[in-house]
Amino acid sequence: MSIVAVCILLSLTVFAAYNYGAPPTPSVAGWNFEGSRAYTIDGWVDILYEEGQDRLIFSDIMSSATTNVKVKSNYYSHGDVGIRGSDGVYKYTNNYLPEHSGYSYTTTIKSNSYKPASFVRYDAKYYQMSGNNLINTTNVHYNSDDRVIRYW
Protein backbone atom coordinates (compact mmCIF):
# COMPACT_ATOMS: atom_id res chain seq x y z
CA MET A 1 0.00 0.00 0.00
CA SER A 2 1.36 3.40 -0.88
CA ILE A 3 2.23 6.05 1.66
CA VAL A 4 -0.52 8.30 0.29
CA ALA A 5 -3.18 5.60 0.86
CA VAL A 6 -1.95 5.03 4.42
CA CYS A 7 -2.13 8.79 5.14
CA ILE A 8 -5.68 9.01 3.74
CA LEU A 9 -6.86 6.03 5.81
CA LEU A 10 -5.22 7.48 8.93
CA SER A 11 -6.84 10.89 8.41
CA LEU A 12 -10.30 9.29 7.95
CA THR A 13 -9.80 7.23 11.11
CA VAL A 14 -8.86 10.32 13.11
CA PHE A 15 -11.77 12.25 11.58
CA ALA A 16 -14.22 9.48 12.51
CA ALA A 17 -12.98 9.10 16.10
CA TYR A 18 -13.35 12.69 17.30
CA ASN A 19 -16.36 14.86 18.17
CA TYR A 20 -16.10 18.46 16.97
CA GLY A 21 -18.16 21.47 18.01
CA ALA A 22 -21.69 22.05 16.75
CA PRO A 23 -22.13 23.56 13.28
CA PRO A 24 -23.03 27.25 12.85
CA THR A 25 -26.67 28.20 13.46
CA PRO A 26 -28.84 30.81 11.70
CA SER A 27 -27.68 33.43 14.23
CA VAL A 28 -24.23 33.28 12.58
CA ALA A 29 -23.94 35.73 9.67
CA GLY A 30 -22.95 33.01 7.21
CA TRP A 31 -20.83 29.96 6.64
CA ASN A 32 -17.15 30.87 6.31
CA PHE A 33 -15.63 29.07 3.32
CA GLU A 34 -12.12 30.38 3.99
CA GLY A 35 -10.09 27.51 5.45
CA SER A 36 -11.30 24.10 6.62
CA ARG A 37 -14.14 23.38 9.05
CA ALA A 38 -15.18 20.28 11.02
CA TYR A 39 -18.37 19.91 13.08
CA THR A 40 -20.37 17.17 14.79
CA ILE A 41 -24.17 17.00 14.70
CA ASP A 42 -25.51 15.56 17.96
CA GLY A 43 -22.50 13.25 18.34
CA TRP A 44 -23.63 11.05 15.44
CA VAL A 45 -22.68 12.80 12.20
CA ASP A 46 -19.35 14.48 11.51
CA ILE A 47 -19.27 17.02 8.69
CA LEU A 48 -16.11 18.45 7.17
CA TYR A 49 -15.43 21.18 4.63
CA GLU A 50 -11.92 21.57 3.23
CA GLU A 51 -10.92 24.60 1.20
CA GLY A 52 -8.79 23.74 -1.79
CA GLN A 53 -5.23 24.81 -2.32
CA ASP A 54 -3.59 26.21 -5.44
CA ARG A 55 -0.12 24.74 -5.45
CA LEU A 56 2.52 25.87 -7.88
CA ILE A 57 4.68 22.75 -7.90
CA PHE A 58 2.31 19.98 -6.82
CA SER A 59 -1.18 19.32 -8.12
CA ASP A 60 -4.03 21.52 -6.94
CA ILE A 61 -6.27 20.26 -4.13
CA MET A 62 -9.95 20.82 -4.90
CA SER A 63 -12.36 22.13 -2.26
CA SER A 64 -14.35 19.23 -0.80
CA ALA A 65 -17.18 18.21 1.53
CA THR A 66 -17.06 15.02 3.62
CA THR A 67 -19.56 13.40 5.96
CA ASN A 68 -18.98 10.56 8.38
CA VAL A 69 -22.18 8.94 9.66
CA LYS A 70 -21.01 7.21 12.85
CA VAL A 71 -21.91 3.73 14.05
CA LYS A 72 -25.26 3.36 15.81
CA SER A 73 -25.75 -0.15 17.17
CA ASN A 74 -28.18 -2.31 15.14
CA TYR A 75 -28.71 0.45 12.57
CA TYR A 76 -27.61 0.89 8.99
CA SER A 77 -26.04 4.27 8.24
CA HIS A 78 -25.84 6.19 5.00
CA GLY A 79 -24.68 9.63 3.90
CA ASP A 80 -24.56 11.94 0.92
CA VAL A 81 -22.89 15.32 0.44
CA GLY A 82 -23.11 18.17 -2.03
CA ILE A 83 -20.87 21.10 -2.92
CA ARG A 84 -21.12 24.10 -5.21
CA GLY A 85 -17.71 25.25 -6.31
CA SER A 86 -16.62 28.78 -7.10
CA ASP A 87 -17.44 28.05 -10.76
CA GLY A 88 -21.13 27.65 -9.83
CA VAL A 89 -21.29 23.92 -10.62
CA TYR A 90 -23.21 21.91 -8.01
CA LYS A 91 -22.21 18.28 -7.45
CA TYR A 92 -23.97 15.78 -5.15
CA THR A 93 -23.18 12.17 -4.31
CA ASN A 94 -25.88 9.58 -4.95
CA ASN A 95 -24.70 6.66 -2.86
CA TYR A 96 -26.41 3.29 -2.62
CA LEU A 97 -27.78 2.12 0.70
CA PRO A 98 -25.27 -0.14 2.51
CA GLU A 99 -25.79 -3.88 2.81
CA HIS A 100 -24.58 -4.29 6.41
CA SER A 101 -25.53 -2.61 9.67
CA GLY A 102 -23.15 -1.55 12.43
CA TYR A 103 -20.67 0.31 10.22
CA SER A 104 -19.93 4.00 9.90
CA TYR A 105 -20.41 5.53 6.47
CA THR A 106 -18.02 8.12 5.06
CA THR A 107 -18.35 9.89 1.72
CA THR A 108 -16.57 12.82 0.08
CA ILE A 109 -17.20 14.96 -2.97
CA LYS A 110 -14.85 17.48 -4.55
CA SER A 111 -15.71 20.68 -6.37
CA ASN A 112 -14.21 21.60 -9.72
CA SER A 113 -12.03 24.28 -8.18
CA TYR A 114 -9.33 24.84 -5.59
CA LYS A 115 -11.03 28.16 -4.73
CA PRO A 116 -13.47 28.31 -1.79
CA ALA A 117 -16.87 26.71 -2.38
CA SER A 118 -20.10 28.72 -2.22
CA PHE A 119 -22.44 26.06 -0.75
CA VAL A 120 -22.20 22.70 1.04
CA ARG A 121 -24.94 20.21 1.97
CA TYR A 122 -24.80 17.20 4.29
CA ASP A 123 -27.39 14.40 4.51
CA ALA A 124 -27.35 11.36 6.78
CA LYS A 125 -29.75 8.48 7.37
CA TYR A 126 -30.06 5.85 10.07
CA TYR A 127 -32.54 3.02 9.62
CA GLN A 128 -33.35 -0.59 10.42
CA MET A 129 -34.75 -3.24 8.08
CA SER A 130 -37.87 -5.37 8.37
CA GLY A 131 -37.89 -7.63 5.34
CA ASN A 132 -37.51 -5.22 2.43
CA ASN A 133 -38.87 -2.23 4.35
CA LEU A 134 -36.96 0.58 6.05
CA ILE A 135 -38.19 1.10 9.63
CA ASN A 136 -37.12 3.34 12.53
CA THR A 137 -35.70 5.84 10.05
CA THR A 138 -33.98 9.06 11.10
CA ASN A 139 -32.86 11.54 8.45
CA VAL A 140 -30.51 14.43 9.27
CA HIS A 141 -29.93 17.39 6.95
CA TYR A 142 -27.68 20.45 7.27
CA ASN A 143 -26.55 23.00 4.69
CA SER A 144 -24.47 26.16 4.68
CA ASP A 145 -27.28 28.47 3.50
CA ASP A 146 -29.89 28.15 6.27
CA ARG A 147 -27.57 26.53 8.91
CA VAL A 148 -30.46 24.64 10.53
CA ILE A 149 -30.20 20.97 11.51
CA ARG A 150 -33.35 19.22 10.25
CA TYR A 151 -34.60 15.80 11.36
CA TRP A 152 -37.42 13.69 9.95
Q: Mean pLDDT of successive 10-residue segments in the chain (152 residues)?
A: 45 55 86 91 93 75 93 91 94 87 92 92 93 92 95 93
Give the pTM.
0.82
The overall longest dimension of the chain from CA atoms, in Å, is 54
Q: What's the pLDDT at 55?
A: 66
User: By residue range, what is the domain housing residue 21?
Assistant: 3-151
pLDDT of residue 13: 46
Domain total of the chain:
1
Task: Give the pairing type, strands 76-84 and 90-92.
Answer: antiparallel
Q: Distance (Å, rounded) from C-alpha 65 to C-alpha 121?
A: 8
